[in-house]
A and B are shown apart, each in its own frame.
Chain A
Amino acid sequence: MSNGALVQISDLTKTFDISSPWLERVIERKPRQYLTAVEEVSFDIERGTTYALVGESGSGKSTIARMLVGLMKPTRGSVHVDGVNPDSASAEDVLKFRRQIQMIFQDPYASMNPRWRVSEIVAEPIVTLGLLSGRDAVVRRVGELLEQVGLSARDAGRFPHEFSGGQRQRICIARALASNPEFIVCDEPTSALDVSVQAQVLNLMRDLQRDLKLTYLFITHDLAVVRYMADQIGVLYLGRLVESAARDRLFSAPSHPYTQMLLDAAPRLDGFGRQHQSDSSEIPDPINRPSGCHFHPRCSRAKSNCAVESPQTQTAGASRVACFYPS
């Protein structure tokens, strides 16, 4: 398999039970309560490309990431990475799965053990997965990895606190690369960084993708970053994938009203004195999501059926949109 989908996600759903303790439920006659964080999300990621998931808080971006790397079990639906489903695979396949898939987190301060040296942090996947034998080989590999992300092999003996935010994110990238993964899930990797440092990290991630033929799932709320990183973009709203399209198509001709609102609201460098069309509405409570299409209370195109029925996803070429009245 040289081309084709590396990652296949179908009908992925995650529901959290957020009921009160049973005694309270019995005494106060409260019903059980569920929060649907992700609802019937399906998409494929082609080998060597970047799929970006965009959405505001509560849209289910990070929940999807967690299910993808196997940190959380889906309620329904399935995840396949290179044909392996981590929930039904044999122990041997799960190990292969874990080697192939790595994650970069948002906060480079919280995602490393402050008492470990950089060498131990970067070597951990190599040692745990038993990829190399012999101390010298591991040390050499750690040095290579650090140089690959723009640090120096001498940095291996230092501790995380001796590095700036951007350098720490480079260490996290080196750790993610340590097991030679094919697929990296990046959950808001540059949200905690300053603009000039963000540019360094984004450029590095793109160079690595080209050199190592990596596949990325890139999760972010920042549409400007998406434009630089993504090939294919999925827009999430309250757990549902409302639109999925190739990057240029999504930016030039967004068809879901929520995508249009997001694009309008994003601040632009050339938007001097621009007026936004947005009203005073906000994202509803994910516990009590609106009926029908979740976006209908904020939508200017909503008609009576939008409040009742949930729109099916319509496919047009490589684009998909879940709206009764797309433009």
Chain B
Amino acid sequence: MSDNTAQPLLRVRDLVVEIPTRRGLLRPVNGVSFDVERGEILGVVGESGAGKSITGAAIIGLLDSPSRIASGEVWLDGERIDNLDNEGLRKVRGRQIGTIFQDPLTSLNPLLPIGDQLAETAMVHLSISRAEARERALAALVEVGIPAAAQRIDAYAHEFSGGMRQRVVIALALIAEPRFVIADEPTTALDVSVQAQILSLLRSLCVKRNTGVMLITHDMGVIAETTDRVAVLYAGRLAEIGPTRDVVESPGHPYSRGLMAATPSPSELADKDLRLNQIPGSMPGLLDVPAGCAFHPRCEFVKDRCRNAVPTSYPSGNSHSACFLHDAEALS
């Protein structure tokens, strides 16, 4: 494990995930590339079926059979991790990559006190004694803001409220001090006042430890407030990637443009007669992804070229968009 700070913490290159089915080969992730730097929060946004969660699962080797990584590479800190065997992956999961899922109740063992779960993770990954591990577990619970942590360390998951449970899950993801965390819709199951708490906790902990985070969500507001950069996925492909502010305020790809305009915002004073921008149609199913640019049937700027060729990534402002609108050669 080299500690080369010149290269990004996580590097994903041309990742393709395939699922062989009786009706044909599905590609829920089709050539996705991105980097995550240390201490950076990369938001991954898209509608259901865009391939957000499968990208996350592929990175930590949690794809369910028969889906598999067909091609592409995943590098963590200069080490390739997409071709590791089960034993190698086990050392990466938890120790180097922490994960936070949507539903905190299914991420915790209902039959084991939360302190034991935390301590077990610390013992396995950090090779420390039981007593030390318990001390770390307590420190972790204090850090994520569990009130009266010393008394509640032996409580079970069901004794906590939803927000407190998600705090425990965050403690569990971070206890082995991973360099990278994948948070898959971590606040979707929570109420809005609790969501704000959990996101600011996640952000402050990761900034403090210089941990890279991949935050998967469908909520553009969460993206705008929490992330440094954002990747917009559509039908398994990267539509646009760039600094969050640029993508939200001046999106380059027609799909991100439509997505921003369709998002109602509580801060803007809407006229009662003002209509939300709507993108016609809906995301194609994996069995019938259109040829060329997958967005072309819903796109208002569609040209002949879009129906035949898949656009590669072109610079658009500070971002990169996979859209022929930004192909400088064709424009000149």
Residues of A participating in the B interface, judged by any CB pair closer than 8 Å = 56-57, 164-167, 194-200, 202-203, 206, 221-228, 231, 248, 251-252, 261-276, 278-280, 282-283
Selected from A228, A269, A270, A275, the residue in CB contact (under 8 A) with B276 is A228
* A202 and chain B: residue at smallest CB distance: B276
Q: In the complex, A227 Cα to B262 Cα: how many Å?
A: 13
Determine if B315 is an interface residue (Cβ-Cβ < 8 Å): no
* B187 and chain A: residue at smallest CB distance: A267
Q: In the complex, A228 Cα to B274 Cα: how many Å?
A: 8
Contact at A267–B219, with CB atoms within 8 Å?
yes
Contact at B248–A269, with CB atoms within 8 Å?
yes
Q: In the complex, A248 Cα to B47 Cα: how many Å?
A: 30
- List B43-84 residues whose CB lies under 8 Å from chain A: 47-48
In the complex, number of A-B residue pairs with CB atoms less than 8 Å apart: 141
Contact at A272–B245, with CB atoms within 8 Å?
yes
Contact at B163–A267, with CB atoms within 8 Å?
no
For the complex, count residues of B whose C-beta is within 8 A of A: 48
Q: In the complex, A227 Cα to B147 Cα: how many Å?
A: 35
Contact at A280–B266, with CB atoms within 8 Å?
no
Contact at B147–A270, with CB atoms within 8 Å?
no
Selected from B196, B244, B274, the residue in CB contact (under 8 A) with A267 is B196
Q: In the complex, A165 Cα to B282 Cα: how many Å?
A: 9
* B221 and chain A: residue at smallest CB distance: A267
Shortest Cβ distance from residue B159 to the other chain A in the assembled complex, whole angstroms: 12
Q: Which residues of A contact B323 (CB under 8 A)?
A: none
Contact at A274–B225, with CB atoms within 8 Å?
yes
Q: Can you list 18 contacts pairing A with B, beta carbon distance less than 8 Å?
A: A194-B48, A195-B218, A196-B47, A196-B262, A199-B276, A199-B277, A200-B278, A224-B263, A228-B276, A265-B193, A268-B265, A269-B248, A270-B265, A270-B267, A271-B267, A272-B225, A280-B145, A282-B162
Selected from B248, B260, B264, B279, the residue in CB contact (under 8 A) with A228 is B264
Q: In the complex, A231 Cα to B267 Cα: how many Å?
A: 16
Contact at A221–B191, with CB atoms within 8 Å?
yes
Contact at B244–A265, with CB atoms within 8 Å?
no
Contact A265 B195, CB 8 Å, known A200-B278, A206-B275, A271-B221: yes
Contact at A224–B221, with CB atoms within 8 Å?
yes
Determine if B149 is an interface residue (Cβ-Cβ < 8 Å): no
Contact at B266–A196, with CB atoms within 8 Å?
no
Determine if B23 is an interface residue (Cβ-Cβ < 8 Å): no
Q: Which residues of B contact A202 (CB under 8 A)?
A: 264, 276
Instruction: Mark each residue of chain B from 34 to 48: 1 if its CB lies under 8 Å from any CB of chain A, else 0.
Output: 000000000000011
Instruction: Mark each residue of chain B from 134 to 178: 1 if its CB lies under 8 Å from any CB of chain A, else 0.
Output: 000000000001010000000000000111100000000000000
Q: Which residues of A contact B163 (CB under 8 A)?
A: 282
Shortest Cβ distance from residue B247 to the other chain A in the assembled complex, whole angstroms: 11
The 10 closest A-B pairs by CB, nearest first: A267-B221, A194-B47, A199-B262, A199-B276, A56-B191, A224-B264, A276-B196, A196-B279, A265-B196, A199-B278
Determine if B123 is an interface residue (Cβ-Cβ < 8 Å): no
Q: Which residues of B contact A165 (CB under 8 A)?
A: 48, 282
Contact at B221–A266, with CB atoms within 8 Å?
yes
